[in-house]
Structure 1
């Protein structure tokens, strides 16, 4: 066991995904921020299981780690392109969307320049004494074997642990076939590339779920499954294979104003809107939808009958492994017809998304950490989860803040808010108003009135109580304080 770190930093960050890495990059040039960031992985990797050749991210290159907070940063995507000799080819390409592998390469380029990152650190507990947090972490050798423990102390804690893959209950309880039984894998999309060949060898594949990841995997497999005589099915409980809504007024919902509006709504209404707004960031890019149809049209030339089925309105109810046939029996309900049916499959890919969790290492902090009635982190408008405003959250607030939570382009804005709280000043200008439209009622209830920014009243909580900023400093914030867009225009 190593000696404890006696240095008291301003920030200890836990988790180095794009949002944690962005905060580290924006913290780096600030003379009044002493920070360190920990991650259990040996290096930065962004969705390695979905690095499908040619796939792009669904946001413009401006949605990098830093540009929306500091367009002059040396950590910008354009600086990366210039350093790598690809700026002019990217310019001539005339596409705002970087390749997914290119974005991952960019993030690793940023990470290599930061001395504040500590890899192979698995955080085991966080304690607090005299307003100082102590973060204890196991140092591993990269394969998970513990070498020693380290501790870090700081006035502020930032959680960038992100979200975890979610399997539907029917697949979580599935008894997978024994090795050599003929059964293929049952995987989440996050594991796709590691198991691609196993899927193709299974004889039949079923993709369950919708959205960009499901569509990318379907498109990546369809040529090979048809060539090798493998059946490929894609079923979703959604009413259709819906495209992501990507119009400009809709994109204004990734704004401070809409976040204020969403944050102030009652919990039940936020839950309802969260379900209704899936098309804003969980849909499929329109180009990919068209490409899939064009591919199926090409493969069916000459009247060829394809070994594929696409079924919407199909909810997975149960699944079991049939040892006799070496296949999985999947039971679905057609939601519109309210009738059940079965499909047999040699392998299953679950495209059922990700979910934020309350990390176990927060347990020693007890009641200091606010939780809502469903046991989730109760995140304030300023992205904090304790009354002192010293524990901050990155991308764990979709249930409280809506569509901006997983949005790559909104990450630098949120990091700017966190740094304002940490420093007591505004190191990066924080936009209060960017949308042309009004969310909710006009300030005086009269659509004909013209209200200047200086006349905007202080925000209120959902129950009408006036709100104030935390940390006892006046940053003139106008927002309420109650407790892998990617979104892409996630």
Structure 2
């Protein structure tokens, strides 16, 4: 067992906890060693990765590059997207590109670049299996399985950033011919295609950005296949990215949202759903419409929009699927045979309490079963747990739309680091025997955990 008592163990190492690792590094840089936040991060993946299955070559980010891991918190940080461009020798070229929205593959490369540079130890290939309350509630023991056995780490605070998990309709199970869009690139690479018998039809279910991107990708990737887009709406709805509406993602909006009455929170959330949920970039809508119209003119229609419709039956086979689509206005049913079906039906936040294992029982919930969370993203806990539990994501009910989005990671991570840092400073001021204790074998610990995948 690791004998170090950490100030932070981060559970998950995607963009949110990566931003936290950077915020902690920059927090420590301006303080004496006794006040440093000692942190380690656990990640179940063997390497850093973020939505790899949707890294289409021509897909762009939907947020400005200035909403990177650090800029809204610290514009002078060496971990900014601009610093990344400079390090890669592309800063002048990006300026000439004249866009605020980089390619998604480029932004992923930026995240990997930052993850490789950050100083905090990251233990990849570690899956947290339990979080146990220890030392009378003052500490948490994090239990993580890895290829070499089981690791146990003691910490005063856990920060859960488990991200999102694919959401599929009830009764639908993923398989070789039934995909969630999160896996579309991987599935496309492994999809068995006989050159003499290319795929004939794909079905995509959903009306949001991921659905539209999946339709566009399949339509280009398989130039002889028909692509059927099935969605409830009459047409794709454009995302509201207008100037004033975008203020809902500003750091100041989180304060207003958090302090607002419950009814006002729901009103604001409902009014501005169209900034993020089940909406599509206008440029992509226009591109798909142009493709559809061009095919209509040429008399070779491969792109079919089955609007105002829903899937009522699905039968998966080893070599394809049979789907029944109901046109809601008329009640007519259409049976489609397809090589595969893609569900672009969104994501849901991973329940942080589920990952907390036995410690999750100490977390307070409201009348709707949602976690009670403070402004600093610390979960309210019962008297039996005084160690800190923080969450990144899954707090839309408390902090608003930004809680699961990249827009907030820079500022949110800084707020969490400051909250934890204040507790460290209090211990130092109180003369705690733990204050300022050096990490046990710190140099060796870094070498063992930071880059080795165990």
Work out which of the residue numbers 362, 371, 375 in structure 2 matches 1:381: 375
Partner of 1:352 in structure 2? Answer: 345
Q: Residue 171 of structure 1: SS of its match in structure 2?
A: coil
2:154 maps to 1:122: no
- Do the aligned residues in 1 keep the contact of 2:129 with 2:357 (CA within 8 Å)? no
Q: Residue 349 of structure 1: SS of its match in structure 2?
A: strand
2:358 maps to 1:364: yes
Partner of 1:484 in structure 2? Answer: none
* Alignment length (residue pairs): 404
- Do the aligned residues in 1 keep the contact of 2:177 with 2:320 (CA within 8 Å)? no
Q: Residue 5 of structure 1: SS of its match in structure 2?
A: coil
Shift of 1:322: 6.6
- Do the aligned residues in 1 keep the contact of 2:157 with 2:389 (CA within 8 Å)? yes
Partner of 1:56 in structure 2? Answer: 60
Work out which of the residue numbers 383, 395, 398 in structure 1 matches 2:396: 398
2:417 maps to 1:413: no
Q: Residue 401 of structure 2: SS of its match in structure 1?
A: helix
2:248 maps to 1:253: yes
- Do the aligned residues in 2 keep the contact of 1:379 with 1:385 (CA within 8 Å)? yes
- Do the aligned residues in 2 keep the contact of 1:164 with 1:356 (CA within 8 Å)? yes
* Partners of 1:321 and 1:185 in 2: CA distance: 7
Q: 1:38 to 1:94 in 2, by over 3 A?
A: same
**Offset from partner CA, 1:433-477 (integer Å, 9 cap, x none):** xxxxxxxxxxxxxxxxxxxxxxxxxxxxxxxxxxxxxxxxxxxxx
* Partners of 1:312 and 1:391 in 2: CA distance: 44
Give 5+ residue unaligned stretches, structure 2: 29-35, 426-454
Partner of 1:294 in structure 2? Answer: 290
* Partners of 2:143 and 2:266 in 1: CA distance: 35
Higher relative contact order (CA 8 A, sep 6+): 2
- Do the aligned residues in 1 keep the contact of 2:27 with 2:417 (CA within 8 Å)? no
Partner of 2:40 in structure 1? Answer: 36
Q: 1:305 to 1:338 in 2, by over 3 A?
A: same
**Offset from partner CA, 1:145-171 (integer Å, 9 cap, x none):** xx1221222111100111101111142
- Do the aligned residues in 2 keep the contact of 1:189 with 1:213 (CA within 8 Å)? yes
* Partners of 2:8 and 2:329 in 1: CA distance: 51
- Structure 1 stretch 187-196 or stretch 335-344: which is displaced more? 335-344
Shift of 1:204: 1.1
In proportion to residue count, which structure has more helix? 2
Q: 1:199 to 1:53 in 2, by over 3 A?
A: farther
Q: 1:339 to 1:414 in 2, by over 3 A?
A: farther
- Structure 1 stretch 60-69 or stretch 330-339: which is displaced more? 330-339
* Partners of 2:119 and 2:76 in 1: CA distance: 20
* Partners of 1:17 and 1:7 in 2: CA distance: 24
Q: 1:358 to 1:407 in 2, by over 3 A?
A: closer
Partner of 1:74 in structure 2? Answer: 78
* Partners of 1:345 and 1:5 in 2: CA distance: 52
Shift of 1:357: 2.3
Shift of 1:410: 1.2
- Do the aligned residues in 1 keep the contact of 2:12 with 2:42 (CA within 8 Å)? yes
- Do the aligned residues in 2 keep the contact of 1:62 with 1:409 (CA within 8 Å)? no
Q: How does 1:297-316 map to 2 (within 5 A)?
A: 297-301=293-297, 303-316=298-311
Q: 1:389 to 1:407 in 2, by over 3 A?
A: farther
**Offset from partner CA, 1:174-198 (integer Å, 9 cap, x none):** 8x6xxxxxxx611001100111252
Q: How does 1:74-473 map to 2 (within 5 A)?
A: 74-116=78-120, 117-130=122-135, 131-140=138-147, 147-172=148-173, 185-196=177-188, 198=191, 201-225=198-222, 227-228=223-224, 230-263=225-258, 274=269, 277-282=272-277, 283-301=279-297, 303-321=298-316, 327-336=320-329, 341-359=334-352, 360-387=354-381, 390-424=388-422
- Structure 1 stretch 84-93 or stretch 107-116: which is displaced more? 107-116
**Offset from partner CA, 1:400-427 (integer Å, 9 cap, x none):** 3331112212111111221121112999
Q: Residue 359 of structure 2: SS of its match in structure 1?
A: helix
* Partners of 1:152 and 1:426 in 2: CA distance: 18
Work out which of the residue numbers 4, 8, 27 in structure 2 matches 1:7: 4
- Do the aligned residues in 2 keep the contact of 1:165 with 1:355 (CA within 8 Å)? yes
Q: Residue 252 of structure 1: SS of its match in structure 2?
A: helix
Q: Residue 404 of structure 2: SS of its match in structure 1?
A: coil
- Do the aligned residues in 1 keep the contact of 2:235 with 2:307 (CA within 8 Å)? yes
* Partners of 1:322 and 1:108 in 2: CA distance: 38
- What TM-score comes out, normalization by structure 2 length? 0.81
Shift of 1:300: 4.1
Q: 1:372 to 1:103 in 2, by over 3 A?
A: same
